Amino acid sequence: MDSEANVLDLPCSICGKTTWFFNPKYFHSNPGVPLCSKECKAERKRILRLMPPSFWDYTSPMLTMILKRVPGVLGIYGLRPIGGVPAGDYFPSSAALLQPDAAAGFLAVEAGTGKKLRVSDIFRSPEASLAAMQKKTGVQPPGYSGHNFGFSIDVALDACLASFAMTKQAFDEMMMSYGWYCHRKDHARGSEDWHYNFFGVGDVAAPWLAACASSVVRSAGVEARMLALYGESFKPTTIELQTLLTKLKMYGGDIDGMFGPRSQQAVLAFERAWMLPMDGQPDAKMMRTLATVASEQQIIP
């Protein structure tokens, strides 16, 4: 073995492949080297134990959300003054997080109109999404809501219409001019009339509007935004799956890229905890939920 070049020349007795060439990044992201028998799997474990320390310096591309904290958000909470904020106006700073372009769009509304948006929800953690899903129908599960990624806000609509002195249609059109699009296209009152997604202004919004052009609501547009930004992170390799489950303290086996009984038990534990169908298989929904739950945040000023 040439440890400097990370090249291994070892035979696989089952598949007949006599030489494996890889570098650390390729090996971690493409773990499907020939492993046709227990002997092959044992050999791979032996190889991993022999790798130099530099091999493990590689960091898998885990989901990291870049978010911006929105200052001075006017909320609807607080039975008494909190931190100088009057009762009924409080909004937790931990939830005042948006994608940087959405944060700029939020502040632009307030700067351009001279009025404050009153909101009930902005950023929602996976745990909060799960709790909301258990309480009421129609809530997107963790990893499927724009709130989980900083694309969406819920406004206190009655208060906003009164404050801005606008009809629902006029308010929607004003919000669109700053890049915020209501979930509903009909400008009517009813379910989700308070929910707005940030698509941007002008040509920036075009792909997301095109994605939901054939629907009466705009959920497909925000889904397209989520997939464009984080779609690759929703498809972890087996090594990344084991790493994420280890981070959540649900897996204690080797991080070796081999999906065996311990990996399956960890997947079952995760599925149980997050109310997913329990089959022990890392399907697309399970992996997307896992990537979201184990994601990290980078808060920028």
Cα separation, 274 vs 286, in Å, equals: 9
Tell me whether the CATH fold assigned to 65-230 matches the one assigned to 235-290.
no
What's the rounded Cα separation, in Å, for the pair 81 and 247?
Answer: 38
Take residue 206 and report the two structure tokens written for it: 């075009």
pLDDT, tens digit, for every residue of 110-161?
Answer: 999 999 999 999 999 999 999 999 887 778 999 999 999 999 999 999 999 9
CATH of domain 235-290: 1.10.101.10
Sorted by where each begins, the domain ranges of the chain are 1-58, 65-230, 235-290
Query: CA nearest 48: which of 174, 274, 40, 175?
Result: 40
Pairing of strands 180-182, 64-69: unpaired
How many other C-beta atoms can be found within 10 angstroms of the C-beta atom of residue 171? 21
Predicted structure pTM score: 0.79
- Reported as a pLDDT band with limits 50, 70 and 90, residue 41 is low
Q: Which two three-digit tokens encode residue 272?
A: 């149980």
Domain 65-230 adopts which CATH fold?
Muramoyl-pentapeptide Carboxypeptidase; domain 2 (3.30.1380)
